[in-house]
Amino acid sequence: IAGITQAPTSQILAAGRRMTLRCTQDMRHNAMYWYRQDLGLGLRLIHYSNTAGTTGKGEVPDGYSVSRANTDDFPLTLASAVPSQTSVYFCASSGTSGGAGVFFGPGTRLTVL
């Protein structure tokens, strides 16, 4: 089934720990994104990649890093988690032709204590 998978589904993490959220898509989309969703703030872009080998910073990149070694995978790493990073994280992807929609994964619920 074509789509985006994210792992883990949820995680409770102690502050200061390192955590990598995984994202894989099988739609051969060139562009991939990481958003965080917080109540009352909507979804905010953390990092993006418009093609394998390149990444860029979004609206709220501090404390997060990404890599894009291939087309399908786009992991998000929290080097030293802080409680303010408690959120629901969504990976998304899109084609690069004009008007291509952005499609979202099921999300990872992360709690940092």
Partner 1 sequence: QQQVKQSPQSLIVQKGGISIINCAYENTAFDYFPWYQQFPGKGPALLIAIRPDVSEKKEGRFTISFNKSAKQFSLHIMDSQPGDSATYFCAASMNTGFQKLVFGTGTRLLVSP
Determine, following the binding rule CB under 8 A, whether residue 43 of this chain makes contact with partner 1: yes
Contact of 56 with 50, CB cutoff 8 Å = yes
Asked if 12 interacts with partner 1 (CB under 8 A), we say: no
Instruction: Identify which of 28, 32, 34, 69 has the alpha carbon closest to the alpha carbon of residue 52.
Output: 69
CB atoms closer than 10 angstroms to residue 47: 22
Q: How far is the CB of 30 from partner 1 (least distance, A)?
A: 7
Q: How far is the CB of 86 from partner 1 (least distance, A)?
A: 17
Q: Which x/- pattern, by CB under 8 A, does the window 85-104 give for partner 1?
A: -----x-x-x-xxxxxxxxx
- Decide: helix, strand or coil at residue 41: coil
Pick 9 or 14: Cβ nearer partner 1: 9
DSSP 15: T
DSSP conformational letter for 73: B
Give the nearest distance from C-beta 80 to partner 1 in angstroms. 26
Would you state the structure tokens that stand for residue 34, as one six-digit string? 């990481």
Site residues, partner 1 (CB under 8 A): 4, 30-31, 33, 35, 40-45, 48, 50, 58-59, 90, 92, 94, 96-107
